[in-house]
Amino acid sequence: MKLVILDRDGVINFDSAQFIKSPAEWKPIPGSLQAIARLNQNGYRVVIATNQSGIGRSLLDMDALNTIHEKMHKALFAAGGRIDAIFYCPHTADSACACRKPKPGMFKRIAETMNVDLEGVPSIGDSLRDLQASAVAGCLPILVRTGKGPLTLAEGGLPEGTEVFDDLAAAVDWILAAKKK
């Protein structure tokens, strides 16, 4: 199975320091939906792994999160794409959970649920914790310069082998070109 794992906020849609709490606040980054559609058209399954501590902070509830994801699914469908599954951590940073990135718990759940070895699977994020969770799970960490990406790149300390691209569309171009070789 060909698989790509994406972070949501800052990769697919614009991020907000105040969190994405409603469908009105969810706005796709130009080219991101079309990039996901190109992955789908080339036989890739696309999964999201996203920290959503806004739930643990009571900034949004599950109905709001589901409505945000419904908007994303509809926008992707209109662009000819789809997300095969969404994995999220609702816990706050001070939680002792195993699923909040940079811990690899969500990635382990993805591997188990999708029945796939994550070794070398492209995993695209905009923060160091995205990349760290990816690397620990055996994925290929990819940083995009959208969302928190510029700050993440400036701060350094990226996992060995991290690839860096301007945005999701450029990362997808690279993934598709690399797989054709």
Tell me what pLDDT residue 178 has. 85
Percentage of the chain with pLDDT > 90? Answer: 93
pLDDT band at 1 (very low <50, low <70, confident <90, very high): confident
Tell me what pLDDT residue 107 has. 98
Cβ partners under 8 Å of residue 2, min gap 6: 42, 43, 44, 45, 179
For the chain, the domain total comes to 1
Percentage of the chain with pLDDT > 70? Answer: 98
Tell me what pLDDT residue 89 has. 95
Tell me what pLDDT residue 32 has. 98
Catalytic, out of 7, 15, 130, 167: 7
pLDDT digits (tens, 9 = 90+) for 43-92: 999 999 999 999 999 899 999 999 999 999 999 999 999 999 999 999 99
Residue 13's CATH number: 3.40.50.1000
pLDDT digits (tens, 9 = 90+) for 106-136: 999 999 999 999 999 999 999 999 999 999 9
Q: Which domain holds residue 13?
A: 2-180
pLDDT band at 141 (very low <50, low <70, confident <90, very high): very high
Is 63 a catalytic site residue? no
Residue 181 pLDDT > 70, yes or no? Answer: no
Catalytic, out of 9, 15, 126, 130: 9
Is 7 a catalytic site residue? yes
Asked if residues 5 and 47 have their Cβ atoms less than 8 Å apart, the reply is yes
